[in-house]
Amino acid sequence: QVQLVESGGGLVQPGGSLRLSCKASGFSRDLYAIGWFRRPPGKERKGVSCITISDGRTSSADSVKGRFSISRDNAKNTVFLQMDSLKPDDTAIYYCAVAEEYVWNCLYEGDYNYWGQGTQVTVSS
């Protein structure tokens, strides 16, 4: 069956780094995009960064540009989110999600078909 498994979350001090991984399995067709979303405590979930599988085009939210980068390993069906210069405001549950069809804005969660269970990222001293 379809599975998205996130890993790499944890507790880190401000200014530190973490690398999240999202491994997709069980899909019977090519995927269009994989995105990372996050839900801070008491707030709504929003798009962080996303990548199209075929050509590697990326988009990122303004709040993480210059600090986070997304990449993919198509052979392993895995997408990574490298998070540097982390701030307390980055504290959230991070989710990866798959869009099977074309999406106009890959940071919009409404176009995604499958979601992982989430991984907690806490930035605190």
pLDDT digits (tens, 9 = 90+) for 37-61: 999 999 999 999 999 988 889 999 9
> How many beta carbons lie within 10 A of that of residue 86, not counting itself?
22
What pLDDT is attached to residue 30?
84
pLDDT, tens digit, 9 for 90 and up, residues 86-96: 999 999 999 99
For position 70, what pLDDT does the model report? 97
Instruction: Check residue 1 and give its pLDDT.
Output: 87
Is the pLDDT score of 118 beyond 90?
Answer: yes
Q: Average the pLDDT over 77-105 and give the result.
A: 95
